[in-house]
Structures are given as C-alpha cells and as structure tokens.
Structure 1
Amino acid sequence: MLSAGNGDSTSLLLVLGAGLAGAFVSPVAEALIAKLLPRLGTVPAPRVRIATAALTGVACAAFALHFGITSSLPAFIFLAVIGSQLARIDVALHLLPNPLVLILLAGGLLLLLLPGLTDKQSDEWLRAALGAVILFAAYLILRLISPGGIGMGDVKLAAPVGLYLGYLGWTQLLYGGLLGFVLNGAVTVLVLRVKGREQATEVPHGPSMLGVLAAIALFTN
C-alpha cells in the first residue's frame, strides 16, 4: 500500500509521463497522417506542429490527472491524440477526414470496452454505444433539416463524440450535444466582431464539439 507521499509522487509521474507522451506522439501522428492521407497536404508548419503538440500534451496530462490510473484512462488519452489532430485539420482545411473519425470511433469503442471487462462496467459501455447512435442521429436530422447549417463531417464526428459523452453519462450526453452549438456560436460571434462580416470566414464546428467533450470529461465526472 502506498503512503500519501508515494501516492502523490506516482500521480505526478503519471501526469508528467502522459503529457510528455502526448507531446511526443503528436508529431508522429502528423507524419503518419501526411503519409497515409496525402490529399490533406504535407505536415503543417513548425508553429502549428508545436501548438498541436502542446495542446495534445496538456490534454493528456489533464486526463491523467483527472482519471488517474484507471482502465478508462487509455481511451481518453487516445481521444486527446486523435481529437487534437482532427481539430487542427478542421481549423486549417474545414474538413474532418473520414478515416480519422472512424479511427476515433473504433478506437474509442475498443478502449472503452476495457473498463467493462475489467471493472464490470458493461452498462457504461452500452450507454456509450447508444450515445454514439443518438448524437449521430440528432446531427443527421439537423443536417437534413438545414443542409447549410452543418456539414456531413460534423455529423460523422458526432458518433465518436456521442460515444465518449454517453460513457460519461446521459446528462453529459445531453449537455455536451447542446453546448457544442453554444460554443461554436460564441466563437462565430467573436470572429465576426474581430474580423468584420466581410473578412470573416466560416468557423469550423468540430473543434467546438471536441472542446466541449474534453471540458465535460474533466469537470463533470
């Protein structure tokens, strides 16, 4: 049994290790994406790579601090790595590549199955799977009602986002689905005020969805 001091040291090492691992894996992921998905272009500029690595590292460290050494931590580390890349691409290209979205969904399904097998949390995994279906269906309906209001990439991203929100809980799924639109609307208003209507460009919705998911995972569970 660890003493309080040893426990604090272990937690610190876990957080630092997760943060450094995330920062290291980020440029590796970018290189693989550039190689396997050449239509997205080459690796981004150095400043973008540094910013993405920093974001990934901070997200991994935050998840490690919040979840600790648990069977669900690998799923959220995976979310931090792939989610950061999706956000970067969406900001740069207004595009959410299908392969990356599918990787996030499939990887999340498999990694969230681990807590169900080791901790007998099968109900949480089932709720996660239902969350993916529910949020995907909700976004698809919105897309059919207002084709110009939301992109198909966002509809597809709703599946893995709903997966993680559903795993966290039904309340998290509800608020996560709504707050993504609220945050994106606030960012859009800010961009319009800073750049003006003539110079403002379309604000991607994907980063808001992922940002709200991360915030809910860190502050409501």
Structure 2
Amino acid sequence: MLSAANQDPTSALLVVCAGILGGILSPIAELLIAKLLPRLGETPGLQARIATAALTGIACGAFAAHFGNALSLPAFLLLAVLGTQLARIDMALHLLPNPLVLILLAGGLLLLLLPGLFGKQSDDLLRASLGAVILFAAYLILGLISPGGIGMGDVKLAAPVGLYLGYLGWSQLLYGGLIGFVLNGIVTLLVLSQKGRNKATEVPHGPSMLGALAAIALFFG
C-alpha cells in the first residue's frame, strides 16, 4: 500500500498535501451540498463535520501513498471526497442523491481520461467504462428481483463504483462487487444483534459499496 511513498522521497510531502487537501475540501463539499441540495437539510453537526473531514483526509492521504504521482490520483482524490460525503448522507438519511452520484461518475470518467490519453492506458479506460455498465446492470437486476434489499440509489451508485473497480482490473471488479455485499451483511448482522430484526432494513448499502471499493483500490489496486 505504501510502496510509492517508500520509493520516492517526495511522496511523503505528496501524502501530507493530499491529506490536508482532503480535510479542506470536505467542509467545502458539505457547504455546497447544503446550498445546492437543500432537501438534504443543513450541514451536519460539528462532530460529524470533524469526523467526515478526518476520514476524507485519511482517504486522500492513503490514495496518494498508494498511487503516488500517477495520473490516476486526481480521480481517486475525487472518489475520497465525494465517496465520503455519499457514505455520510446515506448513513444519516438512507439516501444517495442523484447529482452527487452523477458527479462522481462523470468526474471520475473525465479524470480517468488523463491516464487513458496521456499515459497510454486506453485499455484501462475501456475496462473502466465496461465495469460501470456491468456493475450497474448487475445491481439493476438484483434491484428488480429484490427491491426490498437493493434500492435504486444503490443501483445508480454501482455505476461509478464499477467505473473505478473496472479501471483497477477485472478481478478487482468481481471481488469489489462481492465484498460490498459481504460488508453489508456483516453490518446487518451487527444491527440485528444490537437492535433487533425490525431494524435490519435501516442498514444502508452505499457505505459498504464505497468501503469495498476503497479497500480494493488500496490493497489490490
């Protein structure tokens, strides 16, 4: 995970700068979300803002440590910022706002054009595009079969998640998709053990999808 930082003396500075950038962009994102999407309510409380900023900074620093100065790093920094916000909103409101999901998808695709065009990684870009279609289609089928288990917000989020997983590789796409369900199952079991069966439906699936993506990117990307 930290191989890039160990090989390049300047990577430590990159990691620190990326972490600071994530911590700064987090509250800015929250303010913009509250202003542009008023139906989500006001900005979260101070503790939630601090926790979200810290998590975003850690994620940005971890991606910088893993990818170094690769052309794909900006795409993963976007994932860290918007992915953390989507997870926070889903946990609080059980909602994945379409505009944020679309920005993550379109922004991720545009930023992944950098390595695709300038890094001669067109195969990775094609695989990323196919990954978005494949995972979206898989979630759509599951959502139609079991609407109580998979919501349409999760189906839409599958597109950007599949984009990033597909960029990393076919195996990453497969295992990332499966790990998301495993994580959600574990969280659901914990909720069942703590609050009873009637609370199981309150477990959001989005954070597990995003958590699985982050884990695959950092440890198997």
**Common topology (TM > 0.5):** yes
The answer as to whether partners of 2:87 and 2:207 remain within 8 angstroms in 1 is yes
Q: Report what 2:131 is aligned to.
A: 131
Q: Distance in 2 between matches of 1:65 and 1:159?
A: 26
Which residues of structure 2 form unaligned runs of 5+? Answer: none
SS at match of 1:147: coil
Give the aligned length. Answer: 217
CA-CA distance at 1:190 after TM superposition = 0.8
- Distance in 2 between residues matched to 1:199 and 1:149, nearest whole Å: 13
Aligned to 2:217: 217
Structure-1 residue corresponding to 2:91: 91
Shift, 1:193, TM fit: 1.0
* CA RMSD across the alignment: 1.5
Per the alignment, residue 58 of structure 2 pairs with 58
The answer for the alignment partner of 1:81 in structure 2 is: 81
Q: CA deviation at 1:199?
A: 5.5
Name the CA distance, whole Å, in 1 between partners of 2:194 and 2:44. Answer: 25
Indicate the percent of aligned positions where both proteins have the same amino acid: 78
Paired with 1:70 and 1:7, the residues of 2 have a C-alpha distance of 12
Spell out the pairing of 1:1-221 with structure 2 (5 A cutoff): 7-8=8-9, 10-198=10-198, 202-221=202-221
Q: TM-score if structure 1 supplies the norm length? A: 0.95
Deviations 1:88-136 (A, max 9, x none): 0000000000000000000000001100111100000000000000000
Matched AA of 2:8: G
TM score, norm. by length of structure 2: 0.95
Letter in 2 for 1:138: A
The 1:5–1:100 alpha-carbon spacing in structure 2 relative to 1, beyond 3 Å, is closer
Residues 1:5 and 1:187: Cα distance change in structure 2 (over 3 Å): closer
Alignment gaps of 5+ in structure 1? none
- Residue 194 of structure 1: CA displacement? 1.9
Aligned-residue offset at 1:195: 2.2
